[in-house]
Amino acid sequence: MSDAVLELRNIARHYREGEARLDILVDANLAIYPGETVALVAPSGAGKSTLLHIAGLLERQDSGETLINSAPTSSMSDNDRTRLRRDAIGFIYQFHHLLPEFTALENIVVPQMICGLARKEAEARAQQLLEYLRLGPRASHRPSELSGGEQQRVAIARAVANAPHLLLADEPTGNLDPRTAEHVFATLMTLARHSGLAALIATHNLDLAKQMDRRVTLRDGRIEELT
């Protein structure tokens, strides 16, 4: 088997709440390989977002190691982590977080230009992704002029525009009605499989989780496989 895109080794993370210590992650271990889609299904408060933030280099673990494409990240500087995050990781959130003053196309162009791509190439890639997601005619619309499902499809396009190796999503369809959620999720799965990227997607929706290659949960701060 090829090397893992994401590997979490013995991850521990706690928060303080006044005098109390909350041990959210105790000894979390997970490896995700190229082309693999993994659902993270766990009750509210179990630590899904914490895990995704650590995997996405947005937050540091207290102990353990997060490896991206086999590179250990804990001793990296914040700047190096930011660079690696930009180059290798795409994020999708429950709420789209699109820039309201920019069009759908521009929202997909901006992160590519931040990564150093020329505007012309970035626009061509954005237009191609919008066509693929059947949003071509919506390219010049602002987020407020798009439906919830369309907004989330633009957020998906933005997340994959830089051709990341790892896609992380926190309840990406949690804000959508069931039919739209089904459609957006199917689009996400097709795109993930088509691009061969590794995906870790937190969801409460078991029907959607079943469409992924593997399902894991968080129990007492540890990751367990679900059958």
By the criterion CB under 6 A, which residues form the site for ligand ATP?
A: 15, 17, 22, 24, 42, 44-50
Minimum separation from the CB atom of position 205 to ligand ATP (A): 12
Q: In sequence order, which residues have a C-beta less than 8 Å from that of residue 99 and are 6 or more positions away?
A: 106, 107, 110, 143
Burial of 58 (0-12, 13-18, 19+ CB in 10 A): middle
* DSSP output for 135-189: -GGGTT--GGGS-HHHHHHHHHHHHHTT--SEEEEESTTTTS-HHHHHHHHHHHH
Whichever of 24 and 198 has its CB closer to ligand ATP, that residue is 24
Whichever of 62 and 121 has its CB closer to ligand ATP, that residue is 62
Minimum separation from the CB atom of position 155 to ligand ATP (A): 18
HSE-up of residue 114 (Cα within 13 Å, Cβ side): 14
Whichever of 44 and 77 has its CB closer to ligand ATP, that residue is 44
Minimum separation from the CB atom of position 14 to ligand ATP (A): 9
Burial 191-225 (b: 16+ CB within 10 A, else e): bbeebebbbbbbbebeebbeebbbbbbbeebebee
Q: What share of the chain is helix, strand, coil (3-state, %, to 5)?
A: 35, 25, 35
Minimum separation from the CB atom of position 48 to ligand ATP (A): 4
Minimum separation from the CB atom of position 86 to ligand ATP (A): 23
Whichever of 50 and 73 has its CB closer to ligand ATP, that residue is 50
Whichever of 50 and 112 has its CB closer to ligand ATP, that residue is 50
Q: What is the end-to-end Cα distance of the chain in Å, rounded?
A: 21
Whichever of 8 and 105 has its CB closer to ligand ATP, that residue is 8
Minimum separation from the CB atom of position 117 to ligand ATP (A): 32
